[in-house]
Amino acid sequence: MILVLLCFILIIILERYSYLKSPQINKEAHGNNTFGSSTTEELEEYTALISYKTQMYAEYNYGLLMKYVLHFFMVLGVLFMIFWYFPNRGNMKLTGQPICTSTSTNCNDATSNIWITFFYLIFCVYFALSAKQICYGWPEMRNIKTLRDKASSVNKLLVLAYLTVPFIFEINLLMDWAFTKTSLTIFQWFKLDEVHAMIYYAKCLFQSYLPLGTKISALMKVSFSVLGLLAALILAVGPMVIFSSLNPIAQDNKITGAEISFGIYVDNQLNTYELLSTSQIISLVNMDSDTFKERKLDQVEEVKLLDPSLMQIVVMQRYSDTEWRPTSQAKQGLVTHLKDTNIKEIKFYLTYSFRRNYKPEYASSISPFAQDIDMETRLNLHDAIADCHAFNITLPSFYYKVIKLFSEFAGVTVGASKPDIVKETVILSLDCSKINVNTDDGTHVISTYSWSLNSTNSGIEFITWSEQVTTAILGYTALTLYISVVIVIGNYIKELTRGSSTRIIIRDIPDPDELLNLCEGVIIYRLQNNLKMEAELYYILIDILRSPEILKIITGGSLEQMKKKSLTTL
């Protein structure tokens, strides 16, 4: 997937480079006119000059040649990648062999998977359009800002989206600036393109104004008030609904498996000895409302508002999956630590881990449940392990059995307000037996240890609550959804509704055609490689925008233009 993405990025850059490197406008077509002052008469003469669309002549189109070479290699490359490389790589991962055979299952090639052919047909459409473009050649007088060819409501919204969506505007200009000969800095390019877009936006905006004295229709009021209010509420409240129990498309993410581990750790987990571990579930029952009340969970502040249908009662097997057979060194280390009075911290610990279909990595314990072992118990446990005899101990209120499992962060234990209800007492038992083993060296006595741990008559019990998930936004949190979607759309709306007063001088230009021609003139001289005139025209535009009086002389008065528009409408 990353390789495909990198290939597409490379294609985009090469196509953009070849397009921008196509032959430029013939310098002699417009003559060698210069413009050295910013008087109104000369400005009108100059804008009339740059608005004249002339035919360009090219002796040889190197950009089109580059596109032809790129097209040739893409036809071969895409055919190779889609019908050979991707299917073979996929088959190697699925079946262990690249080519499908009559006995293969879950195998993909063009004959068995129609979507491979459909994917290639999409590229064929692109190849056909690209071939037509090579056949007819580049447009002789092209307008790079194609969205601004025609003033319409659709184009206005597209231009506004182009300026608002993160990185689209910046990436486009950075690529153009990198592949084009110019005398302007990248920041001047940003400024020029933004001014060009705002002037075009002003033209579209003025065309959308109603004639003087026209009453706003009820339909428009409903569209912009009621629907606008609903859209704002959806953007503001929508993510919270999606990540709540009110989400209509949320799916259950209940546990499908579990594992527990019990043992002893010394000196803040510096040394850890696992005594028992099991992944065997002997009971997995969904909670209902009656059981919820019978277990008095409705009295626990942190639990009473949870949905019982999302809760499960999990009972793990009391015995370890395997016998405890430590090496002689590990056994000697444990009994030494238990008897060492200089060691102040020795604890029993219990960890848990649950498996789920979605986000299983967030279903493990943050830290183990632990309880200190007093010196008397340490000595009794030392004797039981060293001398191989039975051992039993009760660990009161050892762990919290109610666990909340979330979809985007680690699970937490709950119920501190009612420990008598949610904390479980466990019984740890050790059975030890000695067996004689005959070897070549003689008969040896081997001790076998069997640990068991139970909080009920059958094993260790947990009560889990699993947060629902929405697969369409899996991997997103409410914060990331707000940042990646809501803020982007919110900025787009803010661009429409706020800050207009600070941009009146440009946004409310009634007749911006001359200024649009001026912006296009900068582009035309840039394509001519006449960098001096490109820079001069740019600074003329800046000077005009800095002078409200000259700007008004060139673009006309708002009231005057509205009166003309009203007369034209009548």
CA atoms of 495 and 479, how far apart (whole Å): 22
Check residue 251 and report its DSSP letter. Answer: B
- In whole numbers, what is the pLDDT of the chain averaged over residues? 78
Q: Output the pLDDT for position 15.
A: 59
* 424: β partners: 399
- Say whether 18 sits in a helix, a strand or coil: helix
Q: How far apart are CA 331 and CA 327, in angstroms?
A: 6
| Mean pLDDT of all residues in 349-369 | 73
- Could you give the percent of the chain with pLDDT greater than 70? 78
pLDDT of residue 141: 47
Burial call 22-52: b when 16+ CB within 10 Å, e when fewer: bbbbeeeebeeeebeebeeeebeebbeebee
Straight-line distance from the first to the last Cα atom of the chain, in angstroms, rounded to the nearest whole number: 59
Q: Give the pLDDT confidence score for residue 433 in this predicted structure.
A: 85
pTM (global) more than 0.75: no
- Residue 313: the pLDDT is 93
One-letter amino acid identity for 335? V
Residue pLDDT, tens place only, 67-105: 777 777 888 888 888 877 878 777 777 777 777 776 666
pLDDT (tens digit per residue) in 246-265: 777 788 888 888 999 999 98
Domain range summary for the chain, segments of one domain joined by +: 48-56+138-243+477-570, 255-473
> Would you call 112 helix, strand, or coil by DSSP?
coil
